Amino acid sequence: MSTFERNVRGLLGTKLGMTQTWDENNRVVPVTVVAAGTNVVTQVRLPETDGYNAVQLGYGEIDGRKVNKPRAGHFEKAGVTPRRHLVEIRTAEQQQAVAAYAQVGLQAFSDVETALAAEFAAREREQILTGTLADSQRALEIVRTQFKVGSTDLRFVTQRQLALNATQSALVRVQAEQRIQRVNLHLALGGSFGPRQ
């Protein structure tokens, strides 16, 4: 036999009355006014002892003389003063929700670590290619000077120009990759690209 259980959040209070407020479109919205006083946990139900997960909340402090002996013992065991109302809230999905949240947290840390490593690697490649580009530019200037004085031919100038162009293309690709990795890092850290508030 299976039991239907749902995850509920609860807070006990006393209804004070009704009022109204307006939303962002100037429409009237009815509102219930609740005085949420002190809520205390009087018992935690566990599958090992009770067969299900639940939390028992107490609300509405009352004089201890107005409580029968079994209830007085229950409150004494919980270490709280007697309460007028006791409500039990099932927490069947709590463990699953906590486990899922922990898994999401671990995945987020992993995503951030991966994005940081990729961005760092792209930055290192950019620094290397920037140095290589400067070397290629100097080599091209030397070959051009040699060509002007006639100590080398046009073939060497063309080779140096092609090497410089290849280095520039590689640098542009690495810079684009680095920007993509920064976007991935921004997203992994919980950022978005929606309109700014």
Q: What pLDDT sits at residue 36?
A: 74
Chain length of the chain? 197
Q: Which residues contact 145 (CB under 8 A, 6 or more apart)?
A: none
What is the C-alpha to C-alpha distance for residues 12 and 94, in angstroms, rounded to an integer?
19
Most confident of 3-7, 19-23, 39-43, 164-168: 164-168
**Residue 195, amino acid:** P
pLDDT at 5 > cutoff 70: no
Q: What pLDDT sits at residue 90?
A: 77
Q: What pLDDT sits at residue 1?
A: 39
Burial 7-31 (b: 16+ CB within 10 A, else e): eeeeebeeeeeeeeeeeeeeeeeee
Provide the 10 A C-beta neighbour count for residue 58.
Answer: 24
Per-residue confidence band for 24, with pLDDT thresholds at 50, 70 and 90: confident
Q: Which of residues 22 and 170 earns the better pLDDT score? A: 170
Per residue in 103-160, pLDDT (tens digit) is 666 776 777 778 778 888 888 888 998 999 999 999 999 999 998 998 888 888 899 9
Q: Which of residues 92 and 167 earns the better pLDDT score? A: 167
- CA torsion 142-145-150-156 (nearest 10°) is 40
Provide the 10 A C-beta neighbour count for residue 111.
Answer: 16
CATH architecture of 14-92: 2-Layer Sandwich (3.30)
Per-residue confidence band for 2, with pLDDT thresholds at 50, 70 and 90: very low
Q: Is the pTM higher than 0.85?
A: no
Distances (CA, A) of 124 to 53, 54, 171, 174, 194: 53, 54, 11, 10, 30
pLDDT at 58 > cutoff 90: no
Per residue in 66-115, pLDDT (tens digit) is 999 999 998 899 898 899 988 887 776 555 644 655 566 677 677 777 87
Looking at every residue in the chain, the average pLDDT score rounds to 80
> Which of 19-33, 35-49, 95-109 has the lowest average pLDDT?
95-109
What is the C-alpha to C-alpha distance for residues 77 and 129, in angstroms, rounded to an integer?
72
Q: What pLDDT sits at residue 156?
A: 87
Instruction: Report domain extents, the chain.
Output: 14-92, 96-188
DSSP strand pairing (28-35 vs 14-22): antiparallel
Q: What pLDDT sits at residue 111?
A: 76
Provide the 10 A C-beta neighbour count for residue 42.
Answer: 22
